[in-house]
Structure formats: C-alpha cells, structure tokens
Amino acid sequence: MDIVATTKTYVMGERTFYALREVSLQVEHGEFVAVVGPSGSGKSTLLNLIAGIDRPTSGEVWVGGRRIDTLSENALARWRGSQVGVVFQFFQLLPTLTVLENVLLPMQLRSLWGGSVDRGRAGAVLERVGMSSHLHKLPSELSGGERQRVALARALANDPPILIADEPTGNLDTATGGDVIRLFREQHEAGKTVILVTHERRLANVASRRVRMLDGRIQAGDGPLTE
Amino acid sequence: MDIVATTKTYVMGERTFYALREVSLQVEHGEFVAVVGPSGSGKSTLLNLIAGIDRPTSGEVWVGGRRIDTLSENALARWRGSQVGVVFQFFQLLPTLTVLENVLLPMQLRSLWGGSVDRGRAGAVLERVGMSSHLHKLPSELSGGERQRVALARALANDPPILIADEPTGNLDTATGGDVIRLFREQHEAGKTVILVTHERRLANVASRRVRMLDGRIQAGDGPLTE
Ligand SMILES: Nc1ncnc2c1ncn2[C@@H]1O[C@H](COP(=O)(O)OP(=O)(O)OP(=O)(O)O)[C@@H](O)[C@H]1O
Ligand SMILES: Nc1ncnc2c1ncn2[C@@H]1O[C@H](COP(=O)(O)OP(=O)(O)OP(=O)(O)O)[C@@H](O)[C@H]1O
Ligand SMILES: [Mg+2]
Ligand SMILES: [Mg+2]
C-alpha cells in the first residue's frame, strides 16, 4: 500500500478545512499498523481513503499494486467487496436487516461476481465475537458494544486480505475489548494486512508499528505509546 | 434519586430478553457515580430510565423527590428539559442543525416555559469543549470525537442540576479525554449530580463510587477499578 503526497480538503463558504496535508505512507502486505492521534487529526479521513470509501483532493492512493483513487464507482465497489473489510467508527449497520442478515450481505453482494453465500461462516464469525444469541435482532435492539461487534463480524464476512477498522474497541469494556484485540492478532498472524485507528494503548501497542497524526500530517516516530 | 426494584424486559416472539432484573439503586444529590460493566450488561438501559428517556417494565424511578416513570410524555419532557442534561452513547445530534444550533436547541425548548436563549453561553460551552472553530458545521462534517464533544456541550446548555452521560470519552484520545474528565469534575465540584457509564479506568476512578453491572443486575462492591 502506497499513499503518495495525499491531501484532503473541504471547502465551506470562504474557508477551506484541511483534513489531510500532503500525507505519504507505505504499508507492507501482512503488516499490522495502528493509527493514533488527537480528535480531529485526520485518522478517519486517512482510513476512508485507504478503504476506497472516499477520494483525495490531490495525491495518489495505491493498494495491492493497483491505483484505487481513479477507479470508477463500480470498479471501486467491486474491488472493495473482495479486497477490504471495513469496521466504520459508527458501525453503519443496515437498520432494517437483522444481525445475521447484516453479516450475510457482503457475501450476497460478492456472489454477484462469483463468491458464495455461506450461512455457516456467518454464524461462526458471529460466534467468534460473542453475538450468537442475538442473530435475529435488529441493530436498534442491541447495546452499543453489541453493535460494534456485529460490525466487526460483517467486516470479516468475506475473509478479506486487508482489514481496516476505526476505533474497533471504542464502545467495549476491558474484557470484551480484550477478546476483540485477540481477534485482530489472529487475523495478523494469518497473514492479513491490518490497519486500524485506536486511542487504546493496549491495542496500539499490539500493532507492529504506530502512525501518529496531528492536524492532518503524519508525525515522526512509530514506537509504542507510553502514557 | 431512588430506583426501586426495577426490571426492564423486551419480548421478541417467544423469547424475553432481560435488560434489567430487579435493580435497586440510591444516589444522593451532588454525588458522582460511575456505572461500569461488560457490553450488554444493562448500563445504557439503567441510564435511560434515570434520565426519563425510557420507562421500566416494573418497579419505580424517583428523581429529586418526584416519581418520574409514571409522568405523562409532556410532563416528562418538561421535567427533562430543566432537570437533566444527557450525553447519549451515540450522540443523537440533529443532522440538519449546525453545531451552534444543536447547543441552542435545549435553550429554545426550555424558553417555551420561561427560560432564556443565550448565544453567549452556547458559545462559551462550545469553547470549553474545544469546538469553537466548528460552530457552523453540520454533524456530518465533524469527526467522531468532535461530535461527542458537541453532544456534551448540548447537555450542559441549560446548566442542569443532573448530568447523565453514556461513554462520554469513548471516541476521544487520551489528551482530549482528559479535558472532558476535568469538565465532569468541575461539574461535580459545582454541586451537580453526575451519573455516567464508562469503561475507562481513569474516569471511573474519578467518581465518588462505582456501580458494577452484570447481566442486568447490580453487583456488590463500589471500590476503584484496578485492572
Ligand atoms: N429493544 C431491544 N430488544 C431486545 N433486546 C434489547 C433491546 N434493547 C436492548 N436490548 C438488550 O438489553 C441488553 C442491555 O443493553 P444495554 O444497552 O443496556 O447494554 P450496555 O451495558 O449499555 O452495553 P454496551 O457497553 O455494549 O453499550 C443487551 O443485551 C441488549 O441486547
Ligand atoms: N465534510 C467535512 N466538511 C468539513 N470538515 C470536515 C468534513 N469531514 C471532516 N472534516 C474535518 O476534518 C478533520 C479530520 O476529521 P477526521 O474524521 O479524519 O478526524 P479523526 O482523527 O478521525 O478524529 P476523531 O478521533 O475525533 O474521530 C476534522 O477536524 C473534521 O472537522
Ligand atoms: Mg475518527
Ligand atoms: Mg451502552
């Protein structure tokens, strides 16, 4: 993965907000990277560009040897469906689908181009995140941490090579959060590329390196968090 | 505040989910209480009953010498508007109102019964949470942590005697979270009653006591968190 001199701005009236300023970042296949930094520093924006959810104002985004920021909407959706699993900061579960249906959906979308829909795998992934007694509930009938775990299960549905997560333990207590951290380590040990945003020291220090952000720029230094 | 043998259940087909089971809890005026416990243990459900956002299946909820679970919708909304400030676990900012408008709204609602709308105070509260350079943005134009801080500012708009917050630092980095913790301490030192859910040890241990929940019940012991 190669982010080359990427900027993201938002124009509001006469003002221009800079979410990212000339950011460059290389991540090797199979690496585990944690992105840390203050609120508003550009972490989610960076993740959205890497996941192909948003496009940069200028610069280039290459993932898996392919340039993705110039792909058409259709090609980008197809690429995402098979290459990337994303856990959004606020989950974005489909409110009218049950827990199980939300996890089956990425499989159904991918089956349009040849994948298979596997209920057994969907159930197993939900069991792995401790949610198998809530399969037929709607997102509105779950607690905050339960929704977060369903969002994680959905990101794993197609067993993608790249896993991108934005504060995946933000709504979880220490014990439940510990379970989720173990899951990310297992994904990494299975050879997946894992890129996540976290402000939790435990999780940040499990990654192979840290990328520190401040006011839309990447800072020097990738050592463990100490405070 | 007095919660008396309160149960909350959800019936789904033949199954009944117990979110709270015969919970009793007393909180003195001016106390600072932190509610902790695993994901799905009933923390948000308890807070929603105390804040008058939801009603129990059985039991009684008394706040400030008044029984609130039997109030009419109108009376409950009026009571909430002047007595309680709530920071929801997922913010619930109004998407079509700007940051400043979201904070002015509780004042405007209260002015129906005699309060005043004070733009100066709204600006000051937003300054206090570090959001004064985003006043005219919509919630969709903010980062996760920025939205959380706007939700906190809104809860303080009417300077209520009771402040209820559900994971108020869940989306914040250590430094920004530290600022928010200081704000809760200031509210407590000013004589407000503060009841919040958190899984963050720092914040839980700043409270005067902790209430531990598990599977819808309150556990014994209110000492500091150690792990
Ligand atoms: N409308 C509903 N229908 C069925 N079950 C529900 C409903 N709302 C909540 N629940 C269940 O009640 C339990 C308690 O939920 P609550 O939101 O209080 O948990 P919590 O302690 O706040 O958890 P978290 O830390 O994950 O936010 C959960 O297991 C949840 O699935
Ligand atoms: N549509 C938009 N219009 C204007 N500004 C925006 C927009 N989207 C994001 N921003 C700004 O870009 C900056 C970076 O946002 P981003 O969501 O990447 O931050 P973050 O590091 O993820 O923060 P947090 O830890 O609070 O989630 C923020 O200051 C935000 O206000
Ligand atoms: Mg973010
Ligand atoms: Mg909750």
Q: Which two tokens stand for residue A207?
A: 């990654």
Task: Give the mean model confidence (pLDDT) for residues A8-28.
Answer: 95
Cα separation, B138 vs A189, in Å, equals 41
pLDDT in tens, chain B (227 residues): 999 999 999 999 888 999 999 999 999 999 999 999 999 999 999 999 999 999 999 999 999 999 999 999 999 999 999 999 999 999 999 999 999 999 999 999 998 888 889 999 999 999 999 999 999 999 999 999 999 999 999 999 999 999 999 999 999 999 999 999 999 999 999 999 999 999 999 999 999 999 999 999 999 989 999 86
Q: Which residues of chain A make contact with B149, given a CB cutoff of 8 A?
A: 39
Task: Give the mean model confidence (pLDDT) for residues A145-170.
Answer: 96
The residue type at A99: V
Please give the distance, rounded to the nearest whole angstrom, from the Cα atom of residue A216 to the centre of ligand 1: 36
Check CB contact under 8 Å for B12 and A176. no
Q: Which parts of chain A fold into alpha helices (H)?
A: 43-50, 73-83, 99-111, 119-128, 144-155, 174-189, 201-204
Cα separation, B93 vs B70, in Å, equals 27
Q: Whose CA is nearest to atom 1 of ligand 1?
A: A141
pLDDT tier, A212 (very low <50, low <70, confident <90, very high otherwise): very high
Cα separation, A71 vs A52, in Å, equals 9
CA distances from A24 to A15, A58, A111, A220 (A): 25, 12, 35, 12
CA distances from B44 to A181, B54, B192 (A): 24, 10, 20
Helix (H) or strand (E) holding A116: none
Per-residue model confidence as pLDDT tens digits over A78-137: 999 999 999 999 999 999 999 999 999 999 999 888 888 999 999 999 999 999 999 999
Cα separation, A58 vs B130, in Å, equals 29
Task: Give the mean model confidence (pLDDT) for residues A193-200.
Answer: 97
Please compute, for residue A39, the number of CA atoms within 13 A of its CA located in the half-sphere on the CB side: 25
**CA distance from start to end of chain B:** 30
Check CB contact under 8 Å for A146 and B37. no
Give the per-residue pLDDT at A13: 87
Q: Which two tokens stand for residue B105?
A: 């709204």
Check CB contact under 8 Å for A40 and B143. yes
The tokens 């309160």 sit on which residue?
Answer: B6
Whether B90 lines ligand 1, by a CB cut-off of 6 Å, is no
* A115 contacts A107 by C-beta, under 8 angstroms: yes
Residue A40: φ, ψ to 5°: 85, 10
Provide residues with CB under 6 Å of ligand 2.
A 10, 12, 17, 19, 37, 39-45, 89; B 134, 137, 141-146, 171
Residues with Cβ within 5 Å of ion ligand 4?
A 143-144; B 44, 89
Give the per-residue pLDDT at B112: 84
The tokens 């040897």 sit on which residue?
Answer: A65
Return the DSSP state at A97.
S
Cα separation, A178 vs B9, in Å, equals 28
Please give the distance, rounded to the nearest whole angstrom, from the Cα atom of residue B215 to the centre of ligand 1: 10
Cα separation, B56 vs B60, in Å, equals 8
Beta-carbon contacts of A193 under 8 Å, excluding residues fewer than 6 positions away, are A1, A27, A28, A29, A30, A31, A32, A161, A162, A163
Return the DSSP state at B101.
H
Q: Which residues of B touch A (CB under 8 A)?
A: 10, 12, 36-40, 43-44, 89-90, 136-137, 141, 143-146, 148-149, 166-167, 170-177, 199, 201, 227
Give the per-residue pLDDT at A173: 94
Per-residue model confidence as pLDDT tens digits over A23-47: 999 999 999 999 999 999 999 999 9
Check CB contact under 8 Å for A173 and B145. no
